[in-house]
Amino acid sequence: MKILVAVKRVVDYNVKVRVKADNSGVDLANVKMSMNPFCEIAVEEAVRLKEKGVASEIVVVTIGPTAAQEQLRTALALGADRAVLIESGEELNSLAVAKLLKAVVDKEQPQLVILGKQAIDSDNNQTGQMLGALTGYAQGTFASKVEVEGDKVKVEREIDGGSQTVALNLPAIVTTDLRLNEPRYASLPNIMKAKKKPLETLTPDALGVTTTSTLKTLKVEAPAARSAGVKVKSVAELVEKLKNEAKVI
Amino acid sequence: MTILVIAEHNNAVLAAATLNTVAAAKAIGGDIHVLVAGSGCGAIGEAAAKIEGVAKVLVADDAAYANQLPENVAPLIAGLASNYSHVLAAATTNGKNFRPRVAAQLDVDQISEIVSVESPDTFKRPIYAGNAIATVQSSAAIKVITVRATGFDPVSAEGGSAAVEQVSGTGDKGISSFVGEELAKSDRPELTAAKIVVSGGRGMGNGENFKHLYSLADKLGAAVGASRAAVDAGFVPNDMQVGQTGKIVAPQLYIAVGISGAIQHLAGMKDSKVIVAINKDEDAPIFQVADYGLVGDLFEIVPELEKLV
C-alpha cells in the first residue's frame, strides 16, 4: 500500500520562543527550525510499515515556504521515497492545510495517511481530523500502536483514562502520539542519497484550493509572568509556609 | 444567540469538564443547550438538565454513539449546528478527537483550547506550549471551539431545570468500530480536577519509588502526575503525564518532585496557583516557576513532608 505522511516545519522544540515587541507574533528570525516532533514519529511509523512489507511506497508532503524542503529532505533521508512541497509563504490555518492535503490525497490515492497529533507551534490538534471529514475516511487519533490487518487498520489510541482500540476501514487517517515509536536518526549516507530522491513542488492555485480563513490573530502576548518564589531551608519551613502563607493545605 | 455545548461523559457519569465548558458558554452569553450523545445515556441527559444555566438538553441515544466514535458523532453535531452561533466542547482527548471533524464538515476554522472569552467572537488561547497567548477573532457564522477546562471555573451541577428533548442523527457510518479499552484504575482524584497534584519525574529513579508519592498524595487527598521523562522511562502509565503532550492541570497546589522543568512539562502545570519544587539540582529550571523551592534529596524530603502535613 501507499502511505502519505504529512510533515511540518516548526520552531525547534528546544527553543524558548519570544513574543515580538509589537505583539504581532513570535520572533522566528534566526531561530532554529526543525521537523515537528510528532511528524518525525509519523515518518518513522511509515518507514517501519515499509520495513515490515506492509507499505510499498511512502510519499511525504509538506505545506510551507521554500525552506520547508529541508524537512522533506530529512524525511527522505529517514526512508520516504518521494516528496511533495506545496509552496505557500503565508501562515495557513488547519482547515486550509487539510484542504490542500485532501487535494494531494485525491491525486495520490494513499491507503493510509499518517500525521502528527499536533504541531508544537500552533498547538491546534486539528489537521488530521479535518482531513478525515473532508475525505470521509475514518480516523485513528493519538495512536500508540498501529496494525494493518487485511482491509482494516487497528489503532490503539491514548485517551484520558487509559487506552482505547478501534478498527478502521482502509483508507484511513492516523495521527501519532508520542508513545507510538522512537524516531531514528538519519545516517550520513542516507542524507546524501536523499538529495537525489524526487521532490515535486506544487502551489495551492495549481491544486485549485483557496486558503482564505475566517480566523484572524489580533495579537500575541507573552503569558503573565509568575512572581519570583523563595527557596526554603527545611521541610518544616515548607509546610509552615504552605499552611500559613499560601494556605493551600 | 444560542450556544450548543457537547456533554462529555462515559455513558455512566457526566464528566466535570462539561461544567467548565458551560461556564465558557455563559461567558459568551446567550441561551445554552447541551447535547448528550451516547447509548443508554438517559441519566446523563437528566444530570445535564440540572446544570445551572442550561436552557435545553438534547439527547441522542443510539448504539452508534456509545463509544463516541468521531465518524458517527461528528455528522450528528454538524447536523444540529446550523441552529447555533457557537458549538463548544471540552478540550479532552474525546473533544479534541471529534471536534475538528465537525468544523471541517461545516467548512469553518476551529478555535482550539480557549482559556478566556474576550467577546462573542474573540478568544484567547495559548500557543507555543503556553509560551505565548494569542487573541483570535472569528468571522465564521458558526464558531466551533474547544475549551481548556482549567481556564474557566465550573458552573454548579445543580439548580437548573432544563427541558429534555430527544434528537436523532445519521447513526453508524460503518467505517469504524470500537474494539476495546483499557482504563488505568485509580482511587485518587482525577488528575485534571484535583485540588492538589503531586508529580514525579526522572529523579524518582524507578516506578517502585513512586510509592513515596502515592502515600504523600493519599495524605493530602491529591492526584499523582508525572513528567514525560518518567512516563518514557516506564515508571508510570502515560495517562499520568502532565505537559503539552499530556494533561493540562491548574490545581491549587502542584508539588513537582525530581522534575527538572522542561518547557513541555511547564506547559501543562504553570497555571497552578502554588508550585512547590523538590529537586537536588539547585539550577533546575523548575525553580524559576516555583513559589517554594526545596533543594535536597527527595528520598529524605518526601517522607518527612508526609509526616509533617
Q: What is the 3-state secondary structure (H, E, C) of B201-226?
A: CHHHCCCCCHHHHHHHHHHHCCEEEE
Please tell me the predicted confidence (pLDDT) of residue A100: 98
> In whole angstroms, what is the distance from residue B128 CA to residue A111 CA?
32
E strand spans, B161-202: 163-166, 176-183, 196-200
* C-beta atoms of B127 and A123 within 8 A: yes
Supply the pLDDT for residue A228: 80
> Measured between CB atoms, which of A94, A159, A167 is closest to B93?
A159
CA neighbor of A157 nearest in space, from B238, B121, B281, B219? B238
Contact A129 B263 (CB under 8 A): no
d(CA B81, CA B142): 7
A19, A130, A217: residue with CB nearest B100: A130
Model confidence at B143, pLDDT cuts 50, 70, 90, reads very high
Q: What per-residue confidence (pLDDT) applies to B193?
A: 86
Mean local confidence (pLDDT), B41-49: 96
Which candidate in B71, B173, B248 is best for mutational testing of the A interface (most A CBs within 10 A)?
A: B71
**Candidates B109, B129, B304; nearest CB to A235:** B304
- What is the least distance, in Å, from the CA of A102 to any CA of chain B? 12
How many DSSP H helices and E strands does chain B contain? Answer: 8, 16
Q: Are A13 and B264 in contact (CB under 8 A)?
A: yes
pLDDT value at position B187?
A: 85
Instruction: Give the separation between CA A231 and CA B6, rounded to whole angstroms.
Output: 44
CB B203 within 8 A of CB B298: yes
Average pLDDT, chain B: 96
pTM: 0.94
Instruction: Cell numbers for B60, please give them.
Output: 441522542
Q: Cis peptide before A171, with omega less than 30 degrees from 0?
A: yes
- Helix intervals (H) in chain A: 37-51, 69-78, 94-108, 127-135, 188-194, 235-244
**Searching chain A, which residue's CA lies closest to the CA of residue B140?**
A214
Query: What mean pLDDT is predicted for residues B179-206?
Result: 93
- Percentage of chain B beyond pLDDT 90 is 95
Residues in chain A with CB shorter than 8 Å from the CB of B111 are 215
Strands (E), B9-150: 31-38, 56-61, 86-90, 110-114, 116-119, 122-127, 132-138, 143-147
**pLDDT value at position A91?**
87
Q: Which residues of B touch A249 (CB under 8 A)?
A: 196, 220, 253, 309
Predicted confidence (pLDDT) at residue B141 exceeds the cutoff of 90: yes
B237 contact residues in A (CB cutoff 8 A): 162
Q: Is A26 within 8 Å of B128 when comparing Cβ atoms?
A: yes
Q: Say if the Cβ atoms of B247 and A160 lie within 8 Å.
A: yes
| pLDDT at B184 > cutoff 90 | no
The tens digit of pLDDT for each residue in B79-135 reads: 999 999 999 999 999 999 999 999 999 999 999 999 999 999 999 999 999 999 999
Spans of chain A, pLDDT less than 50: none
Report residue B54 as a C-alpha cell: 442550561
Query: Are B107 and A213 in contact (CB < 8 Å)?
Result: no
Smallest Cβ–Cβ distance between A142 and the set B93, B134, B179 belongs to B93
A142:B97 CB<8 A: yes
- Distance, in Å, from the CA atom of A50 to the CA atom of B192, rounded to the nearest integer, reads 39
Phi (first) and psi of residue A5, to 5 degrees? -120, 130
Facing A217 at nearest CB: one of B136, B273, B292: B136
